[in-house]
Amino acid sequence: MNNPLLAEFATPFHTAPFNQLKPEHFLPAVQESIQLAKGEIEKIKSEALPTFSNTIEALDRSGKKLNIVTSIFFNLNSAETNEEIQKLAREISPLLTEHSNDILLDQELFSRVEQVYSQKEELTLSPEQKTLLDKTYKAFVRNGAKLSGEEAEKLRKIDQELAQLSLKFGENVLAETNKYVHFIENESEIEGLHEGIKEAAAQTSEDKGKPGQWAFTLDYPSYIPTMTYAKNRELRKTLFLAYNTKCCKGDELDNQEIIKDILRLRHDRAVLLGYKSHADFVLEERMAKSPLSVMKFLEDLLEKAKPKAEEEVRELEEFAKNLDGIEEIQKWDFAYYSELLKKAKYELDDELLRPYFKLENVIEGVFQTAGKLYGLSFTPNPEIPVYHPEVTAYEVKDRQGKHLAVFYADFFPRAGKRNGAWMTSFRGQNKTGEHEQRPHVSIVCNFTKPTKTKPSLLTFNEVTTLFHEFGHALHGMMARGTYESLSGTSVYWDFVELPSQIFENWCFEKECLDLFAHHYETGEKISENMIERIKKASNFQQGYQTVRQISFGLLDMAYHSEDTSRIKDIFQFERAVMKRTDLLPVVENTLMSTSFSHIFQGGYSSGYYSYKWAEILDADAFELFQEKGVFDQETAQSFEKNILSAGGSEHPSVLYARFRGREPRPEALLRRSGLIQ
């Protein structure tokens, strides 16, 4: 058959030919691309004397076709999947693991890498080339190149099993999310929900074959507003229990045994490679360096945040008691009473703000912010094929008007898409001689859908999410590296959140909000008074939110910094770890771990702390913008040059100090969070 994945893409900017792709194209394309990549590896091994160019650079440039085919496939498996694609993922995943192991356990190839590495002091290399040499050598060693034949086979087996288990974990979470729907017949039971949310629930119910009712699901745009505004305490409890018992009910979608298997295999793998634990293995290649320093970081933060968090919970309990006679606040009450308290304190709530954040306007605002800072422009290009009608593709140009990237935006929930928000890429950036391959980057979110009478109106939280993911996208789109493996977001995991988190800061600045925060019906700008209230409210319950993030980081570290084969019961283990950070009564039979996709499906194992770590960097970095002016060109160009364009070309602490002129200081985050004066 003619396979569009194996031909030269005859599309604008050689973008993925989604309009021609069928599921049956993927497996043959992966198989053939693996053979092509194997041929490239054999060519490297056949070269006479190993040099930086014929071994290290050649390795980085090998497998290009395979990278593109698999990026397309796995991005579809996250954003537009179905049973056929999930079945293919289970077939394709082991092939890729085996191929990766064939390269990293190839003794002849490693011997060449080692020879070049042993001469690194004599070679005249740029900082980026030195980084590539170090990274390549470490990739081999950290993936078993120094293991004996028997141990190498053991490693292969572990890697195969891990690849399958994390796929299965994610499939179960998606299936459990899609399966759940709660119907309500009587409108009095959904008091407190705003018209837009009710309309969306009525639309969902109609789509699910029950017109005249209201349907609630576990998708964010349904779940979060219901937990925040529904006066009906029983409805909140019902949804809370459904959300927090995902994949732990002892049925075919239960993830508890999968977690135990993943943890056991990760630990075995680390020990096989000479590390004390999976966390020791992972953190060797992070800014934090060791489990000890991560724990110290989280403990220090907890010490500062917990008293504030406890004070905030006491305030909320008092408020709920006075308002509704609630004797003890439960976890399903928290968002509801917090929203009411926020409204009482700051005369501000999401529904007051939503009309100013029509999705199309916010997208335009994001583009204009990137334009004012970095000179970028975004033009929709309907000629670029997309994988779903809801996806828009844009051509991005730099300040000289030259082609910079292709950007895809995909904003609404649907059955084939996992929950949450993320940035990804279909093609990376690299340079070979005069030729430069520019990146194809995408952001995927789950925002409130438009209804028959209203456009998509975002909560302020959704606005910051869009800015966050777009910050990641800028990191990908503005890459200017030579080597793809060091380009764009290919940086240390605890550094990767800096470009995304710093970009959120502009959402709180009048100069930025004035660009796009206009009432969707009247066109009036958001008032200065309202912006002030948004700023004041940004520290509302910061202590509580900080402790919550720390609790996830501590759970991640508890799972990965010890031998966890002793875990008999996931419920008990999670409870024991979370006890120190629990600020509200424990709800029996709920479990967060079984849907903790970040660490069991995504790449955040032993890395969840990095959100808070990067907040220190982003708060410290943004203070410089505040000193100079939030659109100051000199500061923006320095951030572009030293952070966004530099990717992973040098160690992040070197890049950060070059931008900031010094090391980051944690006080900036504590000031911003209101934890110190």
Q: What is the CATH number of the domain that holds 116?
A: 1.20.1050.40
The predicted structure's pLDDT at residue 481:
97
The 3-state DSSP composition of the chain as helix, strand, coil percent (nearest 5) reads: 60, 5, 35
Q: How many CB atoms neighbour CB 453 within 10 A?
A: 8
Distance between CA atoms of residues 365 and 353, nearest Å: 16
User: How is residue 605 written in tokens?
Assistant: 């194992």
Is 308 part of any domain?
no
Residue 613: name the closest of 549, 542, 540, 545 by CA: 549
Q: How many angstroms separate the CA atoms of 522 and 573, rounded?
A: 53
Tokens of 372: 């004012």
Question: Residue 299 corresponds to which tokens in the numbers above?
Answer: 């403990």
C-alpha 72/C-alpha 427 separation (Å) is 8
Q: Which domain holds residue 94?
A: 12-104+106-142
544 lies in some domain: no
Stated as kind and residue range, the H or E segment containing 432 is: strand 430-432
Degrees to nearest 5, angle at CA 132 with 31 and 656: 120
Q: Is residue 122 flagged as an active site residue?
A: no
Shared domain for 234 and 113, answered yes or no, is no
Does residue 673 form part of some domain? no
CA–CA distances in Å: residue 298 to residues 295, 539, 666 = 5, 20, 12
312, 351, 395, 469: the active-site residue: 469
Label the pairing between strands 403-410 and 440-444: parallel
CA 436 to CA 116: how far, in whole Å?
26
Cα–Cα distance measured from residue 266 to residue 425, given in angstroms and rounded to the nearest whole number: 27
Residues 333, 100: Cα–Cα separation, whole Å: 48
Distance CA 108, CA 316 (A): 64
Angle in degrees, 0-180, between the axes of helices 26-46 and 83-104, rounded to the nearest 10: 10
Strand, coil or helix: what is 203? helix
> Could you give the 3-state DSSP secondary structure of residue 658?
helix
Any domain includes 625: no
Residue 400, CA distances (Å) to 376, 377, 403, 511 in order: 9, 10, 9, 24
In a domain, 427, yes or no: no
Select from 199, 217, 243 the last residue of a domain. Answer: 243
One domain, residues 25 and 137: yes
Closest CA to 500 of 645, 614, 658, 377: 614
Same domain, 19 and 127: yes
135/187 same-domain check: no
In this structure, what DSSP letter does residue 309 have?
H
Residue 271's Cβ-side half-sphere holds a number of Cα atoms within 13 Å equal to: 14
pLDDT, residue 675, reads: 82
Q: Are residues 211 and 136 in the same domain?
A: no
- C-beta of residue 436 within 8 angstroms of C-beta of residue 469: no
Q: What per-residue confidence (pLDDT) applies to 590?
A: 97
Take residue 319 and report the two structure tokens written for it. 């408020």
Please tell me whether residues 58 and 110 are part of one structural domain: yes
Q: Where are the beta strands (DSSP E) in 477-624?
A: none
Contact 440, 406 (CB under 8 A): yes
Query: How high is the pLDDT of residue 147?
Result: 96
Question: If you count them, how many residues does the chain have?
Answer: 677
The last residue of one of the domains, among 212, 243, 274, is: 243
Q: How far is CA 631 from the centre of its chain?
A: 26
pTM above 0.85, yes or no: yes
Centroid of chain to Cα 19:
27
- Give one word for 534, left, alpha or beta, with left for phi > 0 and alpha for psi -120 to 50: alpha
Helix (H) or strand (E) holding 423: strand 422-427
Angle of helix 107-118 relative to helix 127-141, nearest 10 degrees, comes to 140
Q: How many domains does the chain have?
A: 2
Rounded average pLDDT per 10-residue block, the chain, 677 residues: 93 98 97 98 96 98 97 97 96 96 97 98 97 98 95 96 96 96 97 94 96 96 96 98 98 98 97 97 96 97 96 98 96 97 92 95 98 98 98 98 98 94 97 96 95 93 97 98 98 95 97 97 96 93 96 98 90 97 97 97 94 95 97 98 98 97 92 83
> Which of 489, 448, 488 lies closest to 465 in space, CA to CA?
448
Domain-embedded: residue 128: yes
pLDDT of residue 124: 97
Tell me what pLDDT residue 350 has: 85
Indicate whether 185 and 113 sit together in one domain: no
What residues pair up with 358 in beta bridges, in sequence order? 457
Distance CA 409, CA 422 (A): 11
Centre a 10 Å sphere on the Cβ of residue 182 and count the other Cβ atoms it contains: 16
Instruction: Specify whether 136 is located in the same domain as 31.
Output: yes
> What's the DSSP call for residue 525?
B
Residue 47 contacts residue 55 (beta carbons within 8 Å) = yes
In whole angstroms, what is the distance from residue 419 CA to residue 523 CA? 32
Q: 648 phi and psi, to 5 degrees?
A: -105, 30
Residue type present at position 261: D
In a domain, 201, yes or no: yes
* Structure confidence at residue 198 (pLDDT): 95
Start-to-end Cα distance in the chain: 67
Closest CA relative to residue 198, chosen from 210, 186, 206, 190: 190
Q: Is residue 45 included in any domain, yes or no?
A: yes
**Whether the Cβ atoms of residue 327 and residue 321 lie closer than 8 Å to each other:** yes
Report the distance separating Cα 152 and Cα 163, nearest Å.
Answer: 17
Q: At 310, list the tokens.
A: 């406890």
Q: Which of 228, 243, 258 is the last residue of a domain?
A: 243
Inter-axis angle of helices 291-324 and 610-628, nearest 10: 80
For residues 132 and 206, state if they share a domain: no
Kindly give the residue spans of alpha helices, DSSP state H, lying in 561-651: 570-578, 597-600, 610-628, 633-639
How many other C-beta atoms are found inside a 10 Å radius of the C-beta of residue 94?
A: 15
The predicted pLDDT at position 421 comes to 96
| Cα–Cα distance measured from residue 613 to residue 288, given in angstroms and rounded to the nearest whole number | 9
195 and 117 share one domain? no
